[in-house]
Amino acid sequence: MVDLHCHIIPGIDDGAKDIEESLKMLRDAEDDGLREVIATPHFMRSRFEVPYEQVVEKVKKLNETCQEENINIKIYPGQEIYLNRNTLDDYEKGVLGGLNDSNYYLFEMNLMKFDKGIPDILYELSLHGITPIIAHPERYRYIIEDIERINRLIHEGCLFQLNVGSIDGVFGKKAKKCAEELLNRGVYDFVGSDGHGIETRKAILRKTIVEQKKKNMEKMLYLAENNRDFLKGEFKPTKKKLITTKGKLFSMFYGKGI
């Protein structure tokens, strides 16, 4: 099993504090059945600014430590990039990178407020051949309030990654409900632990997936297969449908704009 989103590199962001915590997270992940993990430290100006090149070096070192410690997991480089008006500038500076050095970049956004400039930024990024994967859309307040708002991101060709913790209720009832709705509507492409440590946000996937009711479990297993195909270089994005909600007057383009 492959985890596509995890803060496993020690001392680089708000994930693993030190190598001991990284190793404990990796041992938990191994026990859970994970064999491959993409390390996605935050990249956020003035908070976490480790360039992709350095992430690659740190991943190499962590893989060496895993071998020494007999942990049977391979780690790949990535970033979780805070999407905002600085993103294009950072991209041009060469400090950003995709998951396992691909053109698929993992982005997070402001949890509370949608920046209206984002669709234009996504369009510019697409001109550079970048396919955005939006991390945990079920956690954004504006999407929780009206899931049709995700249409604006679907329209820009975004893919979406579910946090297992959202399904577990770690981020509250509203995020859980939103995650289930987006899952049922086939919006997600990938699943991730978004693991940050050894307590509530662990670096594990399988436990949550197998605890789900049959229908949810099948859908989440499909996402886990996508994770695997992604690392094999065989993943092909499917075309998404825009979301309409029952009983609402559907506007011709994106539903209610963000």
Residues that bind Fe ion (CB under 5 A): 80, 194
Give the nearest distance from C-beta 28 to Fe ion in angstroms: 17
Amino acid at 252: M
Q: Residue 68, Cβ neighbours under 10 Å: how many? A: 8
Give the nearest distance from C-beta 4 to Fe ion in angstroms: 10
Between 172 and 257, whose beta carbon lies closer to Fe ion? Answer: 172
Give the nearest distance from C-beta 168 to Fe ion in angstroms: 15
The label of the residue with tokens 């970049």 reads 105
Between 59 and 243, whose beta carbon lies closer to Fe ion? Answer: 59
Give the nearest distance from C-beta 138 to Fe ion in angstroms: 13
Between 11 and 257, whose beta carbon lies closer to Fe ion? Answer: 11
Q: Are 140 and 114 in contact (CB under 8 A)?
A: yes
Between 148 and 194, whose beta carbon lies closer to Fe ion? Answer: 194
- CA–CA separation, 115 vs 130, rounded Å? 19
- CA–CA separation, 95 vs 223, rounded Å? 29
Q: Are 106 and 133 in contact (CB under 8 A)?
A: yes
Between 98 and 255, whose beta carbon lies closer to Fe ion? Answer: 98
N-to-C CA span, the chain: 35
- CA–CA separation, 240 vs 210, rounded Å? 26
Amino acid at 101: D
Q: Which residue is nearest to Fe ion (CB)?
A: 194
Give the nearest distance from C-beta 241 to Fe ion in angstroms: 27
- How wide is the angle at C-alpha 234 spanned by C-alphas 231 and 237, nearest 5°? 100
Pairing state between β 36-39 and 104-108? unpaired
- CA–CA separation, 37 vs 72, rounded Å? 11
Between 15 and 255, whose beta carbon lies closer to Fe ion? Answer: 15
- CA–CA separation, 209 vs 11, rounded Å? 29
- CA–CA separation, 50 vs 241, rounded Å? 36
Give the nearest distance from C-beta 215 to Fe ion in angstroms: 27
Between 111 and 210, whose beta carbon lies closer to Fe ion? Answer: 111
Give the nearest distance from C-beta 149 to Fe ion in angstroms: 21
- CA–CA separation, 153 vs 103, rounded Å? 17
